[in-house]
A and B are shown apart, each in its own frame.
Chain A
Amino acid sequence: MSDMVLMKGNEAIAEAAIKAGCRHYFGYPITPQTEVAAYMAKRMPKIGGTFLQAESKVAAINMVIGVASTGKRVMTSSSSPGISLKSEGISYLAGCDLPALIVNVQRGGPGLGGIQPSQSDYWQAVKGGSHGDFRNIVLAPASVQEMASLTVKGFELADKYRMVSMILADGTMGQMMEPVSLDLESTYTAEKPWAVTGTKGGRQHNIVNSLFLQPEELEKKVFERYERYALVEKNEVMYEEYLMDDAEISVVAFGITSRVAKNAINVAREKGMKVGLIRPITLWPFPKDVLLKAADKCKAFISVEMNMGQMIEDVELAIKCRKPVYLCSRTGGMIPSPEEVLAKIEEVNEKEA
């Protein structure tokens, strides 16, 4: 175990980004993600990278657009209200087909909300979260190890499909420490012939731009983008199944709530209830096929979330409403307890007997 270190989730993201070749970080402090920026502030100057605390979250995302235009791996991180401020820039990144990694360590909302953990930015992350026809790849880590590995994966997917990858974590995942192996590297590198790197007189200049006044031209751009999105949906779905082989009830949960749900499922199994877990690791693309398949043999689903019920709509869509989907949730910075999830499993088990 000598290669395992104890690290906060936020620090693991920062170190993994460096391991993935990111040398440009722009951010602005906000609880509960500030350790990402603090870690970058310490490390980047030592390895010839750039750490810059911008004057605002809006400035930081626009600096990300600048570096992304040059084809370099670049990231910013924030928490919920800060992500809202960055949302204009995220749309521009999509409109310019620029790869970047954006980290949201969620806290309770809306507005300034609170600083305790939340998953209430699910819709914002998964449905685009800003104006225009576009998608983000959304990755939901459920351990400090995944905070690290999905950061590397996020950069690679962003480069591969020329789009934004978002790590959708929460205050618990950011603040907790677990053993993590930092034996990480990025094996994928994309050619970036579109990057603005200086022509040296040798080629036509590249233009990075999201303005297309001719509707025919803009429509063609969006169509082309959606062809890439279709490839992402086909190739990049990630999920974990837990005790699903004989499950009659399927819990669906991501991030920290999936871990709470596992505790509850273990107790439910001891009590003889056939219950399992489907944990989406990619929230977009959503693991629709595995859920639809589960709908053939499961009698009901339970969506466990830290919001008023956001992912539950995607569960219902994925299973085409063939089976009832129940919600078990807390919000405002509250985390459901394993007992609450167990009570919901017992209730559903009785109701659907």
Chain B
Amino acid sequence: MATVNMLFAGFGGQGILFAGKFLAYKGLIEGKQVSWLPSYGPEMRGGTANCSVILSDTPIGSPIVDKPDVLIAMNLPSLDKYENAVVPGGKIFVDSTLIGRKVERTDVEVYYVPASGLANEKNLRTLANMIITGKVISAVPEIGSDNLEAALNKVISARHQDMLGYNLDALKLGAQQ
């Protein structure tokens, strides 16, 4: 791995920032250079939310991801806004429950994951973010699938530790899609 530039984008409340933080912690545990930069301000409160996550073997310059290798789009405005920013050959992950349209680009790999639908169906509500992240982990080999539980332990606060198992289930479910 040299560097993976990721952009997570969706509605506030979908766990966009959490999913990014989870992968950043995973990178930290593995001794990688990592950065996590959220959008902040009024857009977080029910509007759009996004975060830039960079995992790298070398020191990270700018923490801003404006040309992602990996885009995770969890609502239509995010796909509309960032589809064209993805580098050629990059990967786009689409929550196909919430996004009706297909990706128009033909020079990227696209993964349609009905994450929100699966979350409702499998009683993993609020964990659509981790279902789609599970798919990201399985489809982007540079990220690797080790240390999932250790990273969850870091990112889930002490009083929500009962959610750890559900998060692992969601990651597994996503990886199977």
Contacts and interface: CB of A to CB of B under 8 A. Distances in A.
Contacts of A116: 41
A31 B34 CA distance: 24
Nearest to A173: B63
Interface residues of A, number: 23
A32 B61 contact: no
Nearest to B38: A175
A31 B28 contact: no
A338 B36 contact: no
Interface stretch (A94-102, A259-267, A294-302): A259-267
A115 interface: yes
Main secondary structure of the interface of A (DSSP, over half): mixed
A337 B66 contact: yes
Main secondary structure of the interface of B (DSSP, over half): mixed
Contacts of A337: 64, 66
A175 B37 contact: yes
B64 A172 contact: yes
B69 to A, nearest CB: 15
B28 A338 contact: no
Interface in A323-347: 335, 337-338
B63 A178 contact: yes
Interface core residue of B21, B34, B42 (most chain A CB under 10 Å): B34
B115 interface: no
A182 to B, nearest CB: 14
B28 A260 contact: no
B38 to A, nearest CB: 6
Given A6-B21, A176-B63, A260-B62, A115 B41 contact: yes
Interface of B: 21, 24-25, 28-29, 31, 33-38, 40-42, 60-64, 66, 154
Interface of A: 1, 4, 6, 31-32, 115-116, 171-172, 175-179, 256, 259-260, 262-263, 266, 335, 337-338
13 contacts: A4-B28, A6-B34, A32-B40, A32-B41, A172-B63, A176-B37, A176-B63, A177-B35, A177-B36, A178-B60, A179-B34, A256-B62, A259-B61
